[in-house]
């Protein structure tokens, strides 16, 4: 009896991923979101532009339409982090209130915001290169400016009485920022209340709290 040959099986074709049409703002946001996972998993130094583009679901060439390099991408991530803090801070300061309690709330928010974004701090301060760090520091200067402008206004009405309140304000910010980055990069347990209290003590003494006189 003749046998009938079974038809050859063909490999099943994978459905093509439907290309999404996103606005430039949404595409940029997708790249930043994808980079968050890549940097967290591999660190900044080991991550490649090809991996970052794939995570953002764009071609490698398209990546460069949004960012000049992975340094600029990390700088944009840090800028967004700073923007969120400044948004909360401006709302807080616009609410008014006594000078010292307002400064205390600002510092407490700074500590909480850093701890909530510890993974980004680790990426930046463990493996970022000098160029990426400078982009991050440029964003930090915006925070310093907001804090120092607030302190300068309080100085005019006698609330802050340091020899040079603007210098003292910068000292407080960089002390807080350096302490938090050091603790986060070392994976030290952070007691929010204790760390905040230590920074507030420095601020009150450095900026001349009259109640301590």
pTM for the full predicted model: 0.82
CA angle 172, 175, 177 (to 5 degrees): 105
Question: Over 80: is that where the pLDDT of 10 sits?
Answer: no
Q: What is the mean pLDDT of residues 133-146?
A: 94
Q: List domains and CATH numbers for the chain.
A: 22-67 (1.10.10.60), 70-212 (1.10.357.10)
For residue 93, the tally of other CB atoms under 10 A from its CB is 18
Residue with tokens 């900044």: 44
pLDDT on residue 20: 60
Of the candidates 163, 167, 172, 159, which has an alpha carbon nearest to the alpha carbon of residue 211?
159
Query: Which secondary-structure segment (H or E) carries 124?
Result: helix 118-127
- For residues 103 and 97, what is the distance between their CA atoms, to the nearest angstrom? 10
Paired tokens of 213: 């006189």
- Tell me which residue has tokens 């003292």: 168
Average pLDDT over residues 171-191: 95
């Amino acid at each position: 009896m003749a046998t009938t040959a079974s038809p050859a099986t063909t490999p099943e074709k994978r459905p093509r991923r439907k290309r999404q049409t996103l606005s430039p703002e949404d595409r940029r946001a997708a790249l930043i979101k994808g980079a968050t996972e890549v940097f967290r998993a591999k660190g900044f130094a080991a991550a490649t532009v090809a991996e970052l583009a794939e995570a953002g679901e764009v071609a490698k060439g398209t990546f460069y339409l949004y960012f000049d390099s992975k340094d600029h991408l990390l700088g944009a991530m840090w800028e967004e982090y700073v923007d969120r803090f400044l948004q909360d801070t401006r709302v807080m300061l616009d609410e008014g209130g006594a000078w010292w309690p307002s400064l205390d709330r600002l510092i407490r928010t700074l500590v909480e915001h850093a701890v909530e974004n510890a993974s980004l701090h680790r990426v930046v301060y463990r493996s970022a290169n000098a160029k990426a760090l400078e982009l991050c520091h440029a964003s930090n200067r915006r925070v310093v400016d907001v804090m120092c402008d607030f302190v300068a206004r309080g100085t005019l009405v006698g609330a802050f009485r340091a020899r040079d309140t603007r210098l003292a304000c910068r000292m407080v910010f960089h002390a807080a920022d350096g302490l938090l980055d050091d603790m986060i990069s070392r994976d030290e347990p952070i007691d929010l209340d204790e760390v905040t209290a230590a920074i507030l003590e420095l601020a009150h003494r450095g900026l001349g709290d009259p109640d301590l006189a």
